[in-house]
Chain A
Amino acid sequence: MLVADRVIALGIIALSAYFMWYAIALPIGWNGEAGGPGGGAFPFWLSLVMALCAVGILIRSFREQRLLDPFFDRETMRSVVAVAVALVVTIALISYVGAYVAIVLFLLWYLKIFGQHGWVLTGLLTVATPIFLFFFFEVTLKILLPKGITEPYFIPLYAAFF
């Protein structure tokens, strides 16, 4: 926990520095003529406050020596990372093979492999979810989800519903 606290504090300092690097593109000081601070001032000084607080947390973590529970236990780490990776892969796939293929693959993995559910439940949900999404978003709201290379297969469906 102590180590994680320090790593996160360091991460926040790095993030603040990154924000400040971008913020100085606009004036960060007092804008003499117009009155008031320039466009970069708000993000710059707030990032600085953020960095200072993170430094405070860092210093504090070295002053108190207490051993708490580990931040991650092995099992949690495995399941959380598995889901996170699956989510990233799904989002990446959406651009190439389209939302419908990616979501079906995600549900298959999540329900059958990760959740270890039976085929009946898995099958029911993997079929029902895309159908619901299609009717809710595309037909009712007229919001087209990304299709990627599967776009041509949807043309007959568009013709039927629009």
Chain B
Amino acid sequence: MEVLSLLADGFATSLSPLNLMIVLLGVTAGLFIGAMPGLGSVNGVAIVLPLTFIVPPSSAIILLAAIYYGAMYGGAVSSVLLGIPGASTAVATTFDGRPMAQKGEAGLALIAAATASFIGGTVSVVLFTLFAVPLADLALAFGPAEEFALVLLAFTTFVGLGGDDVLKTIIMICLGLVLSTVGLDLISGQPRLIFGDLPGFYAGISFLVLAIGVYGVGEVLHTIETSKSAPQVTPAKLTFSELAAGLKAMNRLWKTMSIGSFLGFFVGMLPAAGATPASLMAYGIARSTSKEPETFGKGNIEGVAAPETANNAASTGSLLPMLTLGIPGSPTTALLLGGMVMWGLMPGPMLFIEQPDFVWGLISSLYTANFAAVAINLALIPLFVWALRMPFTVLCALVLILCIVGGFAPSQKMHDVWLIAAFGFGGYLLRKADYPLAPLVLALVLGPLMEKSFRQTLIAEQGNVFAFVERPLSATFICIALLFFILPLLKHLRKVLRKDVSAPAE
């Protein structure tokens, strides 16, 4: 087994004292960020990214991945204790987690969430390890035509599966792509879209500036709006007898948890889907296959286990296309991708060949992060209860300061700080009007790759547009992309047709 020896080498990297400390630190920070209502993994990674200059690049990515991981665990905490999802990914956890807390079983619900997250995380990390090498090998055959087709496919999943308004989704994708072209033209080197002749635009718009603006400042404004009164924290205490009872209860839920893990992993790989829909689907399946579906929503432990396995599995699943293909599976992994590019680690199949130490170090750190997260999560529950009492006005003030300073630090230009404020206000308004933000961030990160691969292909093929469908792999991707693109049209058509048929009968 070649994979096992690679993984063993990886552990040699990830178990070094520095990286081990970083994993523990990242997971703890992630747990708190995830537990704070309003702040999820994507906000955590966006705000913390500029602070990671303090460690070497490979450790910085491990730190961010650990935060991502911890935040997935942490999301359940506020779902249970406050009844407010700590992040959108933990919405489904409130359905049964909150009723359990109200029945006085908050501790049990938290144990269930942590164990389920651990199972989901472990299963998906194993799947990740198995799929990573074959997928990276497949991706080695990719030329620019395939790259373009794959990016196109990633965007069309938002149109076909995103569930948001189609027109608004397309607008956000285009806006992200146009913003990504600001700066110097990749092929000719000429400056373009230098708004107001400001020198700051020559360097382009960094993904970090958009992410801090939208997920930092925009999120704070959104939180100010949605949280006018301080929430009520349900006390939770944890005893060893409760822990034993919880583990015993979880032991009966293997079927639910394995469905949740596999479902989460594969749904998580799709850019438009990710952890939130995966957890909702897992919840739905658990309820419909249950012998007593009427107990769901009233505090059934299975209703906590199902979404929590799925959302953790999905977060690992979305790392897979990011690392092997260079196409992120979620907004958070898009930020990780941006961070890696910033540090000169270009994700994609070549990374597996050129930087095996880093890749396998990162993968093995997911195993360590998983163990660390479940232990720290259970140990720190009293601390979470205390931290959740922190007033929003304190949290928001500190996040805004971090946004300003963190936005300034990488480029050391006030220009970027102003852009962050502008993106924050714009993102807040767009989000309020139901424009999806994930495609915007993904488009800005993938924009340069998309344009470069498109134009490279055409230059290499002397302007032959059919070059994209002449190669089997890229033709397949383009076909699936087209299918996703017309999916909403078909849905609409069916609705119209059905209305026509049923109208005379009424």
State the A residues within 8 Å of B (CB): 1, 4-5, 8, 12, 15, 18-19, 22-23, 25-26, 30-32, 34-40, 42-43, 46-47, 49-50, 53-54, 56-57, 60, 71, 75-76, 79-80, 83-84, 87-88, 90-91, 94-95, 99, 103, 106-107, 110-111, 114-117, 121, 125, 129, 133, 136-137, 140-141, 143-146
Contact = CB atoms under 8 A, between A and B. Distances in A.
A65 B414 CA distance: 44
A17 to B, nearest CB: 12
A35 B225 contact: no
A26 B178 contact: no
A144 to B, nearest CB: 8
A80 B432 CA distance: 12
B459 A111 contact: no
Contacts of B430: 8
Which of A8, A31, A144 has the most B CB atoms < 10 Å from its CB? Answer: A8
A46 B177 contact: yes
Contacts of B458: 35-37
B170 interface: yes
Nearest to A84: B425
A117 B192 contact: no
B414 A91 contact: yes
Interface of B: 51, 53-54, 167-168, 170-171, 174-175, 177-178, 181, 185, 187-188, 190, 192-195, 217, 220-221, 224-225, 228, 391, 393-394, 396-398, 400-401, 404-405, 408-409, 412, 414, 417-418, 421, 424-425, 428-430, 432-433, 435, 451, 454-455, 457-464
Contact of A115 (B397, B405, B421): B397
Nearest to A8: B433
Shortest beta-carbon contacts, A-B, top 7? A115-B393, A36-B458, A35-B463, A39-B185, A50-B174, A110-B397, A46-B174
Contact of B417 (A30, A75, A91, A111): A91
30 contacts: A18-B195, A19-B178, A25-B192, A26-B185, A30-B463, A32-B463, A35-B463, A36-B454, A37-B455, A39-B185, A50-B174, A53-B167, A54-B167, A54-B171, A75-B228, A76-B224, A83-B220, A83-B224, A87-B400, A94-B414, A95-B414, A107-B401, A110-B397, A115-B394, A117-B393, A121-B394, A125-B394, A133-B401, A143-B409, A145-B408
B391 A43 contact: no
Nearest to B51: A136
Contact of B429 (A8, A47, A140): A8
A39 B188 contact: yes
Interface of A is mostly: helix
Contact of A107 (B194, B228, B397, B424): B397
A106 to B, nearest CB: 7
A94 B417 contact: yes
Contacts of B398: 125, 129
A42 to B, nearest CB: 5
Given A39-B185, A42-B451, A140 B397 contact: no
Given A5-B433, A34-B459, A146-B414, A137 B220 contact: no
Given A4-B432, A43-B193, A53-B167, 19 more contacts: A15-B175, A19-B178, A22-B195, A26-B192, A39-B190, A42-B178, A47-B174, A47-B178, A49-B170, A53-B168, A75-B228, A83-B400, A91-B421, A99-B404, A106-B400, A110-B393, A111-B394, A121-B394, A143-B412
A136 B401 CA distance: 14
B433 A111 contact: no
B181 A43 contact: yes
A35 B409 contact: no
B412 A79 contact: no
A36 B178 CA distance: 18
B421 A88 contact: yes
A87 B185 contact: no
A18 B178 CA distance: 12
B171 A12 contact: yes
A91 B404 contact: yes
Contacts of B454: 36-37, 42
A155 B476 CA distance: 63
Nearest to A60: B167
A9 to B, nearest CB: 9
Nearest to B167: A53
Contacts of B451: 42
Nearest to A45: B174
A46 B178 contact: yes
Contact of B192 (A31, A43, A75, A145): A43
Contacts of A115: 391, 393-394, 397
B405 A42 contact: no
Nearest to A34: B459
Contacts of A40: 192
A32 B428 CA distance: 43
Contact of A84 (B177, B185, B221, B228): B221
Nearest to A129: B401
Contact of A94 (B174, B177, B404): B404
B431 to A, nearest CB: 11
A116 B397 CA distance: 13
Contact of B391 (A12, A37, A117): A117
Which of B54, B167, B178, B462 has the most A CB atoms < 10 Å from its CB? Answer: B178
Nearest to B228: A75
A132 to B, nearest CB: 10
